[in-house]
């Protein structure tokens, strides 16, 4: 009996302490960045009521929080988060932190420095409700925060917890230019270790560019619905395309020009930078994969080089060094790990910045 | 009714095709490497009936297949696998492929080259039974294969499927010297993207050394039971220790000498290389973590430097560059991604090889 009372008492103490210490704020009222076109729901990258895609998988992915981030400043010594995602288990080739977790960076000496992750609860089914401390025991002072949202899940609600008496408020988006990145799972972020580690997020964060992520895992096949969405975006300064990873060679030949036509009509002078698809490690020993993948790469090179003859604002970045040369930079043969994305960025980042400079994007 | 018959017929056709095409072989009859002391069960790194540890978590980890690999050669054009693991869901900071999957390398031009993964089934609960093709459509010829087993799960059964008429047989362990690597989750392999990507596996594979993995996630605190196990190992050529990541500063001061005494008594002249624990990224903003972690590091440096005065075969490798300098090399602030392990190996690999050369290990 004594033990039961003691348990009840300590539970009461716990709840009281938590209630005293943490005040929860709806992150929807802070600055949410990453959407090329605004949406009704706070944490969805594309408004799926407004835009319909070819299949339900794409519709689902469109409603994900991929590439979105919340910007705020606070003088709290602790940052907690409470968020709700879909019920899915993690994919075999990604971490749950990347898939349904949060990833916080704090501005320090002019750079966004990693501060901590919101680790999703993968023990209590259905894996929807998550809560945790991202960072605690910080020094006094007001800090600017950049919190990336899950890459492969929807976020229905997100609250940020700060200590009683501390202040939290939105800050302006500090990233410059509107860079839209559209592509496959590689763009979507499989298999980044945490949400801020996609190549689009890293390229944006490291260079101060506003990169928006329209990666659609396995579903990026030069479909006209994507082109129509891209055409609807106002004020794009550049497109980066990873559109040769998912379609077969025939689909590349069949669809590429129609896709570019739609985007070009809406954005006549915007630079369009196409990344060749990586040389997948699944080719190392499979003759069938070698044939299939090299046909894709050769189709991509052909259609783009042909188009470049008549369009001076189209660029092509070849991919021979995207995964390094030691065959260790993917999780499963196809999807770059953080090491793969590092190799990829070492290759593409200087090339893209060089192109950007021609357009005054710096 | 027609539809039902058609479904039944196609199921029969499927089963027949599978039965015709694939012959299954028990991997326990091939060459299983990675155990410092042999075990009764094929795919367990430590015989948990023989060795008892301080708690049930360590007992469970001891029975995992961490660091084990199966060696064989085959002229099959396809390699399939069917394996049984425990029922656990994946940890939030690791991929299911790393945790419960398989990772195949094939010898090519004198190097072990990545060939494919066995991706665990994370859809059908309880996530125990997995089957899949690792690589298919290979050219004619006999190939030597190295298949790493799950890092964070037990393997109760593993079968390798080859095509009808093909041959599979064990090959000798090609790795030289016996290198025992004992440590924390960082050694255990959180958060390697796939089982062959731990630093111990990579260091061994890249240099031809036989590295055995005794990493115990969160549980490596200089306990005497580990020392007793290490003392029981015959024929060790070198120890690599990552034993300063889990214990608190006080535990390091209290336990280090007793731990070394036990191991030293059994292995008087064997080089013992101690890695300083990495500078965790959880220190970036938390004053409490900064204090806790720097106290650990300073305790480690003190005890080891003191011991080195009287033991010429003890070495210490400092860790300032283990995670690079951009704060992007962990999944969660503590656990290196494949990028983190790459930085770590760039640092430790030349230093360890230099020490090894003094002992004729090359």
From B170, B191, B220, the end of a domain falls on: B170
Count CB-CB contacts under 10 A for residue B164. Answer: 10
State which H helix or E strand residue A157 sits in.
strand A155-163
Q: What is the pLDDT of residues B77-102, one digit of tens each?
A: 999 999 999 998 768 999 999 999 99
pLDDT of residue A125: 84
| Interchain CB contact of A135 with B (< 8 Å) | yes
Is A278 part of a structural domain of the chain?
yes
Does A266 lie in the same domain as A144?
no
Do B219 and B163 share a structural domain? no
- Using an 8 Å CB-CB cutoff, list chain B residues near A282: 116
Could you tell me which residue, B283 or B54, shows the higher pLDDT? B283
3-state helix, strand, coil in chain A (%, to 5): 35, 25, 40
The answer to whether A142 faces chain B, any CB pair under 8 Å, is: no
Distance from CA of B291 to the nearest CA of A (A): 11
On whether residue B4 sits in a domain, the answer given is no
pLDDT at A18: 45
For B:35-54, CB contacts with A below 8 A are: none
Chain B nearest C-alpha distance from A115 (Å): 6
Whole-number pLDDT of residue B7: 46
Dig out the tokens for B274 from the structure: 């101690």
**B289 contacts chain A (CB < 8 A):** yes
B52, part of any domain: yes
8 Å CB contact of B286 and A113: no
B34 reaches A (C-beta below 8 A): no
Judgement on whether residues B123 and B108 belong to the same structural domain of the protein: yes
B188 closest CA partner among B178, B204, B199, B175: B199
Task: Confirm whether A12 is domain-assigned.
Answer: no
Q: How many domains does chain B have?
A: 2
pLDDT at A124 (0 to 100): 85
Residue with tokens 């050219």, as numbered in its chain: B139
Q: Tell whether B327 lies on the interface with A, counting CB pairs under 8 A.
A: yes
Residues A205, A106, single domain; the answer is no
Residue B14 within any structural domain of the chain: no
A100 CB contacts (<8 Å, ≥6 apart)?
A85, A86, A88, A90, A120, A127, A130, A150, A152, A153
Kindly report the CATH number assigned to the domain that includes residue B349.
3.40.50.1110
Domain final residue, candidates A130, A147, A170: A170
Would an 8 Å CB–CB cutoff place B339 in contact with chain A?
yes
For the segment B6-18, the average pLDDT, to the nearest whole number, is: 42
> Residue A17 falls within a domain, yes or no?
no
Q: What percent of chain B has pLDDT over 70?
A: 94
- Which of B338, B340, B341, B343 is most worth mutating to test chain A (most A CB atoms within 10 A of its CB)? B338
Average pLDDT score over chain B: 94
Angle between helices B249-266 and B287-308 (to 10 degrees): 30
A212 and A70, same domain (yes or no): no
B57-64 average pLDDT score: 97
How far is residue A232 from each of residues A36, A178, B219, measured CA to CA in Å? Answer: 9, 14, 54
The CATH number given to whatever domain includes residue B151 is: 2.60.120.260
What's the residue count for chain A?
362
Same domain? For A275 and A212 the reply is: yes
Residues B262 and B180 placed together within one structural domain of the fold: yes
* Final residue before a domain boundary, out of A148, A170, A192: A170
Residues B234 and B141 occupy one common structural domain: no
pLDDT-derived band at B21, boundaries 50, 70, 90: confident
Residue A128's pLDDT is what? 95
Domain shared by B47 and B131, yes or no = yes
Quick one: tokens of B290? 């900064």
Contacts of B272 (CB under 8 A, 6+ apart): B238, B239, B241, B260, B263, B264, B311, B313, B314, B315
Cβ proximity of B85 and B121 under 8 Å? no
A155 lies in which domain range?
A: 22-55+66-170
Tell me the average confidence (pLDDT) per consecutive run of 10 residues in chain A, 362 residues long: 46 42 96 98 96 93 98 98 90 95 98 98 90 98 98 98 98 98 98 98 98 98 98 98 98 98 98 98 98 98 98 98 98 98 98 98 96
* Chain A residues close to B284, C-beta within 8 Å: 106, 108, 113-115
A102 shares its domain with A192: no
Residues B181 and B154 in one domain: no
Say yes or no: B283 contacts chain A, CB-CB below 8 A: no
pLDDT at B124 over 90: no
Whether A88 is covered by a domain: the verdict is yes
Work out the percent of chain B whose per-residue pLDDT is above 90.
Answer: 91
| Closest CA relative to residue B164, chosen from B18, B343, B331 | B18
Residue B16 covered by a domain: no
Residues of A in contact with B90 (CB under 8 A): 90, 95-96, 122
Q: Which of B266, B272, B265, B234 is nearest to B356 (CA)?
A: B272
- Same domain for B193 and B297, yes or no, is yes
Residues in chain A with CB shorter than 8 Å from the CB of B338 are: 328-329, 331, 337-340
pTM: 0.94
């Amino acid at each position: 009996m004594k033990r039961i009372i003691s348990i009840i008492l300590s539970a009461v103490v716990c709840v009281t302490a938590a209630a005293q210490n943490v005040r929860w704020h709806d992150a929807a009222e802070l600055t949410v960045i990453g959407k090329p076109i605004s949406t009704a729901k706070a944490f969805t990258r594309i408004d799926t009521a407004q835009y319909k895609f070819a299949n339900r998988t794409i519709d689902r992915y469109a409603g994900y929080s991929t590439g979105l981030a919340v910007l705020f400043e606070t003088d709290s010594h602790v940052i907690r988060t409470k968020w709700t995602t879909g019920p899915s288990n993690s994919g075999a080739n990604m971490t749950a932190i990347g898939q349904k977790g949060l990833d916080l960076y704090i501005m320090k000496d002019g750079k966004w420095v990693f501060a901590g992750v919101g680790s999703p609860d993968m023990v209590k089914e259905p894996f929807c409700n998550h809560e945790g401390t991202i960072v605690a025991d910080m020094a006094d002072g007001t800090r600017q925060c950049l919190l990336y949202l899950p890459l492969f899940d929807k976020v229905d609600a997100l609250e940020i917890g700060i200590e009683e008496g501390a202040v939290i408020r939105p800050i302006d988006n500090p990233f410059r230019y509107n860079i839209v990145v559209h592509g496959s799972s590689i763009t979507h972020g499989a298999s980044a270790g945490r949400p801020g580690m996609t190549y689009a997020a890293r390229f944006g964060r490291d260079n101060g560019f506003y990169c928006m992520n329209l990666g659609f895992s396995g579903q990026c096949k030069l479909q006209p619905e994507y082109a129509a969405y891209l055409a609807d975006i106002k004020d794009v300064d550049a497109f980066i395309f990873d559109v040769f990873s998912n379609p077969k060679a025939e689909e590349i030949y069949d669809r590429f020009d129609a896709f570019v036509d739609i985007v070009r009509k809406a954005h006549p002078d915007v630079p369009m930078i196409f990344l060749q698809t990586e040389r997948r490690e699944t080719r190392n020993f499979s003759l069938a994969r070698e044939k299939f993948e090299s046909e894709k790469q050769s189709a991509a090179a052909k259609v783009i080089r042909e188009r470049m003859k008549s369009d001076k604002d189209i660029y092509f970045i070849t991919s021979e060094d995207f995964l390094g040369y030691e065959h260790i930079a993917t999780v499963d043969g196809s999807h770059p790990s953080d090491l793969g994305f590092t190799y990829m960025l070492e290759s593409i980042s200087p090339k893209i910045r060089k192109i950007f400079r021609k357009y005054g994007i710096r």
